[in-house]
Structure 1
């Protein structure tokens, strides 16, 4: 399999149920660009990105410098309604169109940072913040906006309006009711926590997806009804934390219709659609797979999902539509012992690659992985697992890695590798790779063992102290994950350093390739540069691959040319040292 073949996929990236039936969007890579296509009841109707349907078609298209909102009537040409620096979402209100978006900013002007949070991965320097706008009578008016917070979501029943707001340097969220006349906000949430989606039913009742456990990245999400003081858990985690390298880019979703809420719920490596009613959650689907997106309207459900063998399947009216009938992945064998894991075995004599997921509170699951299939179809065994810290197994399990990165998780991963090796009688060499926290773990592993013959560390972490001062979230995330109150105290820095792979770099003998996007604001490229320089000066075989223009998502939705090149250089590195 070539990198070009690996990415020759069509993926459903959006579904919407309307009076006219099912609207969905398909995404594919054409040369070096992502292309999106609209389908109404499976009939192609045009190109664009992430539409919503209400009567006539409204959709927005991303240009090089701005996003424009268009209206497409049943007869006639598309009409541009407005243009902003970014359009995130919109909702229809009796007074006009509510838009969550950003104003245009001068990207070449000097930038003066006054807040610790002044940059963000995927957004760059925060020259403008996300606001709530109202488009009415041909004009756009800002309703809610500021220099130190972002409006992240909006919901309305045509009268009442609520927004989710992310505020402060750490970025905690609340839900507010909005007065459209004067922009005044009335807080609906209590305590502190996260809000990843908000919804409203016809009666004006509010629900949101998130948690109220303060600064705790490991917290399990639930469906909250803030004005009723109630919350409901779907499975082990409401929403989905399953990481995949598909470029469909789904976002958190919540539908509130009449007296029911519909959302996703995760249990282990599977994600299904759940309905919340009368304070209880029940599954609407029973998939051994991962639902990536859905919509629910008047008792009808449409969703798209992935399995270990199929990249993207659209389900509606009891029928599955396979976008890639000619593609079938090699199915993994489940390996369940101390932790849940999977193994794609292509031959006892073949080399084996261990993959470690990011987060650390993400998870692998019953999904199709482009990279796993690429290596499996090129003569490698592929193994992966969900060690302590992964979501989908309860909050205690997710929190178990806090203050102990490289401790229990490292032991569980190595025990999993040994079990797989014995179970399948594997005789070839072993390699290890991972991204983000998986990159941290790759770096950590090569400082602790020479078991692996080669390693590839992506968007990685090598120095938790320097990351505190350079990452968009490191100044708080590293501290809470390490169990450190003050990362700038002597005690705090000492603990962070002792949890950092760079502290033990003298022990590395394994050849290590580092891959990084130059615009990565989450795990800045200086993390790879440090490890690369230290390895080089200590005589360890190493290489640093830098991808211009790519951020932290370089392996999932980066520049397609870079993504193909990434598979090529990874295969070359592992071929050199493992075959």
Structure 2
């Protein structure tokens, strides 16, 4: 398999049950550009994003550098209603169309930062913020400020939003009711926490996906009905924290239809759809898969992925946009922790993959990179060490204050177990991104077990990251188990768990890959480790991808993503084969 073949897949990325049938969107890479095609009852009808039927009209978002809302009547020509720099969502109210979007801001003017959160990965400097608008023939801004309106829901009368206005620096959200005539808001949620998605039924009842556990990245999410004082758990964690490297752009959602609430829920490495009705939670789907998105109006439509299939759409039967693609099946291995292995031969080289987060998880989803390396003769090992989500909140919290401790033990022990179980004889490499990049850097400072390493969007210095990352000032503090990253004790703790502090121990050839616009794990993290390795005569290479951010391996420039697979295989071929 070549990198081009690896990315020649089509992914269902949106599904909507309409009065005219089933709408879905398929995303693919065409000539190194992402293309989104809209299908009605599996027949291609257009190109755009987020389609929806309303009465006799068809609405969708279209555009590259700016986004426009387009209305298509049944027999007329497409009509552009308005244009913004970004449009992320729209819903219909009796007084007009409610929109979440951003205005265009000049990048040529000086930027004045006066708060902790002044830039964000994938967005750059926050010259504009996501606001709530209404279009009733004219576009009017309803709610805006130096914060983001992150979601909106309505029953056509009542309107609720989630915003970061009371916790913007730290990524905390609340739910508000908003008066669309004057922009006045009334706070509904209490305490502090996260809001990942909101929903409202026809009666105006509300629910949201999130938690009220403060600043705690490891917290499990629930379905919460704040005005009724109720909360529900779907599996071990509502929503999904299971990672794939599919470029479908799917995100967490909930649907509130009549008296039923539907949400994704995660149990270990699987993600299914759950229904909450009559104060009871029931699982609607089953099997070793990861559901990515769904719609429900009494009937259910959803799309999912498995280790063997990139994308399957379910609605009155299954539809596979990639009928000729079937990945190699992994072997499930369960012991103290859960993991998987793809075995191509006991004499073959092996790559150990480490996920990011740390509070995410590997699971039963298709991984482009796993299948690429497996098709080229590599054994693949991946697991969910302590700190992973989907196994309960205590398990997810188990790495806090102990990065590089028991989590590294879990990874090494699992790797040795697989090597022994399958009598693997070849050389072993290791790779990971984000927290997985931290762990890759950390492991090569602690052991010579691996013959080669590739660290992506990594962390090498937790102290400098506090001042350069969009979330580092609070995330590193919480994860290190300290209260003040700038105190003497805080700096000492952060340095004691920083790979750069032990870089003189490294003997393993190590490549570093980074997007130059990564604000989550800034490129200075890779630069520090690269220079240190170079000065200590360790074989190393720094690969920089212009224009790419933290998502460079999942939703980056397609040309760069293909080059990334090529350069990674060349590095592992050189040192493992």
TM-score by structure 1 length?
0.99
Aligned counterparts of 1:328 and 1:50: Cα–Cα separation in 2: 28
Superposed CA deviations along residues 48-103 of structure 1, whole A, max 9, x for unmatched, are 12222223111111322x21111111112211000111101111000000001111
Q: Could you say which residue in structure 2 is the equivalent of 1:287?
A: 287
Q: Could you say which residue in structure 2 is the equivalent of 1:173?
A: 173
Aligned counterparts of 1:528 and 1:569: Cα–Cα separation in 2: 17
Aligned counterparts of 1:477 and 1:52: Cα–Cα separation in 2: 37
Alignment partner of 1:241 is 2:245: no
8 Å contact 2:47–2:62 — kept in the other structure? no
Superposed CA deviations along residues 387-436 of structure 1, whole A, max 9, x for unmatched, are 00100000000001100000000000000010000000000000000000
8 Å contact 2:18–2:52 — kept in the other structure? no
Q: Could you say which residue in structure 2 is the equivalent of 1:77?
A: 77
- Deviation of the 1:288 alpha carbon: 1.0
Where does 1:404-415 land on structure 2 (aligned, <5 Å)?
404-415=402-413
What SS does the corresponding residue of 1:338 show, helix, strand or coil? Answer: coil
Aligned counterparts of 2:209 and 2:197: Cα–Cα separation in 1: 5
Superposed CA deviations along residues 193-228 of structure 1, whole A, max 9, x for unmatched, are 000000000000000000000000000000000000
Aligned counterparts of 1:20 and 1:557: Cα–Cα separation in 2: 31
What SS does the corresponding residue of 2:170 show, helix, strand or coil? Answer: coil
Regions of 4+ moved over 4 Å: none
Superposed CA deviations along residues 474-503 of structure 1, whole A, max 9, x for unmatched, are 000000011110001000010000010000
What SS does the corresponding residue of 2:553 show, helix, strand or coil? Answer: helix
Q: Could you say which residue in structure 2 is the equivalent of 1:546?
A: 544
Alignment partner of 1:433 is 2:444: no
Aligned counterparts of 1:166 and 1:58: Cα–Cα separation in 2: 28
Where does 1:302-341 land on structure 2 (aligned, <5 Å)?
302-317=301-316, 319-341=317-339
Q: Could you say which residue in structure 2 is the equivalent of 1:33?
A: 33
Superposed CA deviations along residues 225-278 of structure 1, whole A, max 9, x for unmatched, are 000011000000000000100000101111001111001000000000000112
Q: Could you say which residue in structure 1 is the equivalent of 2:7?
A: 7
Q: Could you say which residue in structure 2 is the equivalent of 1:121?
A: 121
Alignment partner of 1:140 is 2:139: yes
Q: Could you say which residue in structure 2 is the equivalent of 1:193?
A: 193
- Deviation of the 1:108 alpha carbon: 1.7
- Deviation of the 1:385 alpha carbon: 0.1
- Deviation of the 1:562 alpha carbon: 0.2
Q: Could you say which residue in structure 2 is the equivalent of 1:458?
A: 456
What SS does the corresponding residue of 1:218 show, helix, strand or coil? Answer: coil
- Deviation of the 1:20 alpha carbon: 1.0
Q: Could you say which residue in structure 1 is the equivalent of 2:503?
A: 505
Superposed CA deviations along residues 138-183 of structure 1, whole A, max 9, x for unmatched, are 2111110002x11000000000000000133112100000011111
Aligned counterparts of 1:54 and 1:308: Cα–Cα separation in 2: 36
8 Å contact 2:503–2:533 — kept in the other structure? yes
Q: Could you say which residue in structure 2 is the equivalent of 1:514?
A: 512
Aligned counterparts of 1:354 and 1:247: Cα–Cα separation in 2: 22
Aligned counterparts of 2:106 and 2:518: Cα–Cα separation in 1: 21
TM-score by structure 2 length?
0.99
Superposed CA deviations along residues 349-389 of structure 1, whole A, max 9, x for unmatched, are 00000000000001000111000000000010001000001
Q: Could you say which residue in structure 1 is the equivalent of 2:476?
A: 478
Aligned counterparts of 1:63 and 1:315: Cα–Cα separation in 2: 30
Q: Could you say which residue in structure 1 is the equivalent of 2:562?
A: 564
What SS does the corresponding residue of 1:556 show, helix, strand or coil? Answer: coil
8 Å contact 2:349–2:379 — kept in the other structure? yes
Aligned counterparts of 2:450 and 2:539: Cα–Cα separation in 1: 14
Q: Could you say which residue in structure 1 is the equivalent of 2:50?
A: 50
Aligned counterparts of 1:17 and 1:125: Cα–Cα separation in 2: 37
8 Å contact 2:193–2:214 — kept in the other structure? yes
What SS does the corresponding residue of 1:196 show, helix, strand or coil? Answer: strand
Aligned counterparts of 2:470 and 2:464: Cα–Cα separation in 1: 12
Could you say what the CA RMSD is over the residues aligned between the two structures, in angstroms? 0.7
How many pairs align?
Answer: 574
8 Å contact 2:164–2:172 — kept in the other structure? yes
What SS does the corresponding residue of 2:479 show, helix, strand or coil? Answer: helix
What SS does the corresponding residue of 1:509 show, helix, strand or coil? Answer: coil
Superposed CA deviations along residues 121-149 of structure 1, whole A, max 9, x for unmatched, are 0111100111100111x2111110002x1
Q: Could you say which residue in structure 2 is the equivalent of 1:278?
A: 278
What SS does the corresponding residue of 1:224 show, helix, strand or coil? Answer: strand
Q: Could you say which residue in structure 2 is the equivalent of 1:467?
A: 465
Alignment partner of 1:366 is 2:367: no
Q: Could you say which residue in structure 1 is the equivalent of 2:522?
A: 524
Where does 1:254-273 land on structure 2 (aligned, <5 Å)?
254-273=254-273
What SS does the corresponding residue of 2:214 show, helix, strand or coil? Answer: coil
Range with greater deviation from structure 2 (527-536 or 101-110): 101-110
Aligned counterparts of 1:76 and 1:452: Cα–Cα separation in 2: 63
What SS does the corresponding residue of 2:264 show, helix, strand or coil? Answer: strand
Q: Could you say which residue in structure 1 is the equivalent of 2:227?
A: 227
* Contiguous gaps of at least 5 residues in structure 2: none
Aligned counterparts of 1:329 and 1:263: Cα–Cα separation in 2: 28
